[in-house]
Structure 1
Amino acid sequence: MNQQAYNLLGLMMRSRRIDIGATKILEGIKRGKYHLVILAEDASELTQEQFRKQAAKTNVKVIVFGTKQTIAESIGKDVTVAIGIIDKGFADKMRSILEKKIMIEGDSCHGEN
């Protein structure tokens, strides 16, 4: 199930339908740019709190999934803490994959907001 999500991240990157990097994503959340945000499980507590607060203000769903390294590898970049998904179709598909993963595996992946 993880591989399906990582493959989709790679496809979104090649399609240029995502933004990467915590600062850029936080700014984009404020502007309502994203349909879904993926935040690495190993993001610092401060970063997680910043995302939770901003997402709550703007009603953007944040899903905690993967590590900085595994997310980065899936999109061909260096360590990445956050991804903002611009395309609604891609966001819906990713949400579906990750929510199915939670139900099937009872994994630590969880949604915020």
Structure 2
Amino acid sequence: MNNKQRALNLIGLSQRAGQLISGEALVLQAVRSKKAKIVCLASNASENTRKQFLNKCEYYNVPVVTEFSREELSHALGKDRTVCALLDKGFVHSLQKLL
């Protein structure tokens, strides 16, 4: 299993552990309230969505990962998603090690 697949499994695991939120409105809210520790944005997200999240995350100093496609993220989360945010430092640390 490669690191990318491990990272996606970790994202799924953090969701099951209740340490992940997904969906554009919820993730934006988490970034604003500084709950989001890292944001995973689909590499093939729309131009508008990309710009919105990259700007917001830069402003609030939240790291952004764009390694995964929308399909990969959706598969890992079991629902159709373009963006998600990890809320737990432990998961974030593991994710950053894998990438």
How high is the TM-score relative to the length of structure 1? 0.81
Alpha-carbon separation, structure 2, partners of 1:96 and 1:22: 25
- What CA RMSD, in Å, does the superposition of the two structures yield over aligned residues? 1.0
Select the structure with the greater relative contact order (CA < 8 A; seq sep ≥ 6).
2
Identity of aligned residues (%): 30
Alpha-carbon separation, structure 2, partners of 1:93 and 1:72: 20
Structure whose alpha-carbon radius of gyration is higher: 1
Deviation digits for residues 63-85 of structure 1 (CA, Å, limit 9, x no counterpart): 112111211111222x2111110
Alpha-carbon separation, structure 1, partners of 2:62 and 2:4: 22
Provide the secondary structure at the position in 2 that maps to 1:37.
strand
Deviation digits for residues 44-91 of structure 1 (CA, Å, limit 9, x no counterpart): 1111111111111111111112111211111222x2111110001101
Alpha-carbon separation, structure 1, partners of 2:73 and 2:24: 13
Letter in 2 for 1:91: V
4+ residue segments displaced more than 2 Å: none
- Unaligned stretches of 5+ residues in structure 1: 99-113
Question: 1:1-113 to 2 correspondence within 5 Å?
Answer: 1-77=3-79, 79-98=80-99
Letter in 2 for 1:26: L
Alpha-carbon separation, structure 2, partners of 1:21 and 1:96: 25
How high is the TM-score relative to the length of structure 2? 0.92
Alpha-carbon separation, structure 2, partners of 1:28 and 1:54: 11
Provide the secondary structure at the position in 2 that maps to 1:8.
helix
